[in-house]
């Protein structure tokens, strides 16, 4: 491709789990596996390392979305601990699994835009 997408466009395409270069091809095969090359524009997406960063961002986001309200609202402290802990862990696990592929796509768009390829 001759014209490179803007940073916000690349990240938004990645958040939709599409190729950050063209926005047409799928960036993932399966749940979290990045395709080697885009089926539409042949961009080598497998060369962009996005392994641990998305997990850290997802955990940070989910922690703030779940744990912060627990400290902010007092009614959480009135429930028995045997109920609060399993419910909280279930919600955090489900949110993490739900958000991780989308955040990984956004991370892929960020890394692609900056051209941070993995050299093998």
pLDDT digits (tens, 9 = 90+) for 67-111: 888 888 887 788 888 988 898 899 999 999 999 999 999 999 999
Q: Phi, psi (5° rounding) for residue 109?
A: -60, -40
pLDDT mean over 15-35: 93
Q: Is the model's pLDDT at 2 over the cut of 60?
A: no
pTM: 0.86
pLDDT attached to residue 3: 67
pLDDT attached to residue 98: 96
Closest CA to 39 of 54, 12, 21: 21
Length of the chain equals 120
Token pair 């990240």 is at which residue?
Answer: 11
pLDDT tens track for 56-69 = 999 999 999 888 88
pLDDT attached to residue 109: 95
Q: Distance between terminal CA atoms of the chain?
A: 23
């Amino acid at each position: 491709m001759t014209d490179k997408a803007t940073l916000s466009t690349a990240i938004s395409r990645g958040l939709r789990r599409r190729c950050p270069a063209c926005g047409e091809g799928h960036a993932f095969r399966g749940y979290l596996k990045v395709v080697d090359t885009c089926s539409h524009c042949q961009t080598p997406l497998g060369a962009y390392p996005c392994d641990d960063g998305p997990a850290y961002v997802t955990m940070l986001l989910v922690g703030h979305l779940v744990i912060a309200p627990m400290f902010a609202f007092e009614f959480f402290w009135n429930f028995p601990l045997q109920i609060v802990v399993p419910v909280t862990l279930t919600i955090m696990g489900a949110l993490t699994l739900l958000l991780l592929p989308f955040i990984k796509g956004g991370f892929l768009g960020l890394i692609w835009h900056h051209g941070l390829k993995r050299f093998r």
